[in-house]
């Protein structure tokens, strides 16, 4: 764990320090997000902040390569090559999009190419865990397309939620932290070396998200742009795929540990709200006779703002939902598969917390608005001549 902590601290520090020069570079290149009707920022803001995140990724991996035990990950696997090469391609694609707004098909082709680099370096699904504890072997004819689909879908889901300051970095950081804990626990229970590829990727992803979030939380001084959102989506999918592919489902039965489909379920659960928002947006626009890609201000984060939540509170609410899902998954990892009572207890507590959170999400802004209205009424009734209410 000490080597993981050192790698994570290195990633945080390098990312944090690189943001300022990347911001200056973005301004010099004219890579700034203009203010549009559907945006919530008020002034043009530099983007391509993902370039600093990629630098943090490289810095963390250099540190990992220099450590005495974690260097075994580089010797035994091609994990580092996979994320560096595919990440470099996706960053170049993102910079081009942030500068010139390239078309959707070109971006899709680049995302598929990045997926291919992951596959060529061993990050590929060769089997899927079944709910009954067995596994479903996947021939390359099926495993390769499924791997590409998971990578591309995760990249675009993360890209889609990048609508508020700090939202994408925080959401992915929380999801990556949950994945880090799941991977570490799995290796610990099975009693294999704790320094493995998926745990390293998840830890580095946590680091670059935290380092960037220090500059990106509201009010953001820089945006990650497509450069960053596609990069962290790529890393999140790579860590998930490698964790699933690394272990045999027979180990879960032998050691009586959580089913291996939990990590595979984590990412869809985290991005289910953005995906639902995307589907609703497509339905809403086509129902109005508009293009599915026509911009509007009816996304989830816009609705939270209209409910009366501040920018920061809206982002924290999204953090809370993702954290709840991640906590549920991590808690289930401590419950053996043959303990339905404890599994039901974890799910029940999660649902209770979710219900309370939904009630507060709707009720708090109404309560604040009601109190503000009452204060205005009392101030108006008092009038300017009421000396008892005047400051001394």
Q: Is the pLDDT of residue 392 over 50?
A: no
Query: Which one, of 303, 343, 227, lies nearest residue 40 by Cα?
Result: 303
DSSP 315: H
User: In which element (H, E) is residue 173 found?
Assistant: helix 167-190
pLDDT classification of 231: cutoffs 50, 70, 90: very high
- In tens, the pLDDT along 276-324 reads 666 676 677 677 776 655 555 666 766 777 777 887 888 888 898 888 9
Check: CB of residue 277 under 8 Å from CB of residue 299.
Answer: yes
**Can you give the pTM of this predicted structure?**
0.86
Check: CB of residue 53 under 8 Å from CB of residue 232.
Answer: yes
DSSP 126: -
- In tens, the pLDDT along 92-110 reads 999 999 888 888 899 999 9
Backbone angles phi, psi at 386, to 5 degrees: -80, 100
Torsion of CA 139, 137, 130, 237, to 10 degrees: -50
pLDDT classification of 359: cutoffs 50, 70, 90: confident
- With H, G, I as helix, E, B as strand and everything else as coil, classify residue 222: coil
Check: CB of residue 233 under 8 Å from CB of residue 158.
Answer: yes
Radius of gyration (Cα) for the chain, nearest Å? 23
Query: Which one, of 123, 342, 133, lies nearest residue 239 by Cα?
Result: 123
Q: Is the pLDDT of residue 389 over 80?
A: no
> What pLDDT does 22 receive?
94
Q: Is the pLDDT of residue 218 over 50?
A: yes
DSSP string, 238-299: HHHHHHHHHS-HHHHHHTT---THHHHHHHHHHHHHHHHHHHHHHHHHHHTT--TT---S-S
Beta strands in the chain (DSSP E): 32-33, 45-46, 127-129, 135-137
CA–CA dist 389, 4 (Å, integer): 58
**What mean pLDDT do residues 217-236 have?**
92
């Amino acid at each position: 764990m000490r080597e993981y902590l050192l790698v994570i601290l290195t990633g945080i520090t390098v990312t944090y320090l690189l943001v300022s020069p990347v911001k200056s570079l973005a301004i010099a290149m004219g890579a700034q997000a203009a203010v549009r009707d559907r945006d919530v920022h008020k002034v043009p803001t530099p983007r391509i902040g993902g370039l600093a995140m990629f630098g943090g990724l490289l810095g963390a991996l250099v540190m990992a390569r220099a450590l005495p035990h974690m260097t075994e990950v580089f010797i035994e696997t091609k994990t580092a090559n996979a994320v560096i090469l595919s990440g470099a391609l996706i960053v170049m694609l993102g910079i081009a999009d942030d500068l010139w707004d390239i078309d959707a098909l070109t971006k899709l082709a680049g995302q598929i190419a990045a997926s291919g680099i992951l596959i060529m370096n061993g990050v590929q699904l060769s089997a899927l865990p079944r709910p009954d504890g067995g596994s479903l072997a996947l021939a390359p004819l099926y495993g390769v397309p499924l791997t590409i689909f998971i990578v591309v879908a995760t990249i675009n889901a993360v890209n889609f939620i990048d609508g508020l300051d700090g939202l994408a970095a925080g959401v992915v950081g929380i999801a990556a932290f949950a994945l880090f804990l799941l991977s570490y626990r799995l290796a610990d229970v099975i009693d294999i070396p704790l320094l493995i590829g998926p745990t390293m990727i998840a830890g580095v992803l946590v680091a670059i998200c935290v380092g960037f979030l220090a500059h990106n939380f509201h009010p953001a001084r820089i945006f990650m742009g497509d450069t960053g959102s596609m990069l962290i989506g790529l890393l999140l999918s790579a860590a998930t795929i490698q964790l699933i592919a690394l272990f045999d489902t027979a180990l879960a039965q032998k050691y009586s540990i959580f089913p291996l489909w939990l990590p595979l379920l984590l990412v869809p659960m985290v991005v289910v709200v953005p995906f639902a928002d995307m589907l609703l947006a497509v339905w809403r626009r086509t129902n109005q006779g508009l293009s599915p890609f026509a911009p509007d201000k009816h996304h989830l984060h816009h609705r939270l703002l209209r409910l009366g939540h501040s920018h920061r509170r809206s982002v924290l609410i999204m953090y809370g939902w993702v954290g709840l899902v991640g906590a549920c998954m991590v808690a289930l990892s401590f419950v053996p598969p043959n303990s339905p009572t404890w599994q039901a207890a974890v799910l029940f507590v999660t649902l209770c917390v979710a219900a309370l959170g939904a009630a507060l999400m709707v009720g708090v802004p109404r309560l604040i608005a009601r109190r503000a209205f009452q204060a205005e009424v009392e101030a108006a009734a008092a009038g300017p001549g009421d000396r008892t209410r005047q400051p001394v």
